[in-house]
Amino acid sequence: MSKARAKKDIKLWEQYNSGDKSALSPLMQQFRGPVARWASQNSTPNLPKAAVELEAWKNVKKAIDTYNPDRGASLLTHASWHMRKGSRFVGRHADVATLTEERRLMVGRYKAMLEELEGKLGRPPSLMEQREYFAADRSLSAKQKIQYNTRNLARLQKEVRRHVLPTDISEEFGVEEHDPTEAMALHTVYASLTPRDQKIFEHKTGYMGQPVLKNVEIARMLKVSPTTIGKRAKRFRGMLDTALG
């Protein structure tokens, strides 16, 4: 690492550490190269590079917040150490190819069922509705139907949610997912919402790869008024503004 790079890192960090939040974005931009390399090394066909990058940016932010220059290590070294913690995230979201063929088929059937029932019901199906769907599926043997019991369906639901990762973000909210600071803001706001508000957030922003819908369409899906959706969207913008500082 060049002395000029280290000097610039410290200057920006000192600005940020003294309370100048405007220094955070240019400081994090200093780590674009290391983050991109780490993401390239750890992404898989079923764990997109964008998702690995987001985890790396979160760890870089933690490194910036916990950095102590008196300990002797450079900020880059400290950030690199924190980025390696992302290996746990990669492990939790292991490539689906590591699953058995039978498990992959179960996950595939489950995703297809969700898409079909959500289209018919206009909302996520309950575990009971999921179980009834598979019980009525004539393409499954009696043994296979037993596998889709309530306990296994709950596990599949968690597994599928864990592998659903963000893609595009609606321009309406004025944020860019690929900007590290804004990507973290989106993640922070989304994680703090109730399940219903998360659904609204997804369809207003395109987060989690969901289609961006009009207020009236989301209202029809969730059986609430378009005014409620509009108020929620306004609240989300305020939360994003706060998260971005």
Please determine, for residue 6, whether its predicted confidence score (pLDDT) is greater than 80: yes
Q: Over the stretch 100-137, which tens digit does the pLDDT of each residue have? A: 556 667 777 887 888 788 778 877 888 889 999 999 98
Return the CA Rg of the chain. 21
Can you tell me which residue has the tokens 């910036």? Answer: 64
Contact (CB, 8 A) for 39 and 56: yes
Band of pLDDT at residue 143, cut at 50, 70 and 90? confident
Can you tell me which residue has the tokens 């150490």? Answer: 81
Domain 171-244 has CATH 1.10.10.10: yes
CA atoms within 13 A of residue 125's CA, in its CB half-sphere: 24
| Angle at CA of residue 35, ends 182 and 1, nearest 5° | 125
pLDDT of residue 209: 59
Is the Cα torsion angle 43, 48, 50, 55 positive or negative in sign? negative
Contact (CB, 8 A) for 68 and 17: no
Would you call 173 helix, strand, or coil by DSSP? helix
Gap between the Cα atoms of 61 and 243, Å rounded: 13
- pTM for this model (two decimals): 0.47
- Give the range among 86-100, 140-154, 168-182 with minimum mean pLDDT: 168-182
- The structure tokens listed for 22 are 């405007």
CATH architecture of 3-92: Orthogonal Bundle (1.10)
pLDDT of residue 165: 42
- The structure tokens listed for 155 are 């596990």
Distance from the first to the final alpha carbon of the chain = 30
Q: Over the stretch 70-94, which tens digit does the pLDDT of each residue have? A: 988 899 898 888 888 877 777 666 5
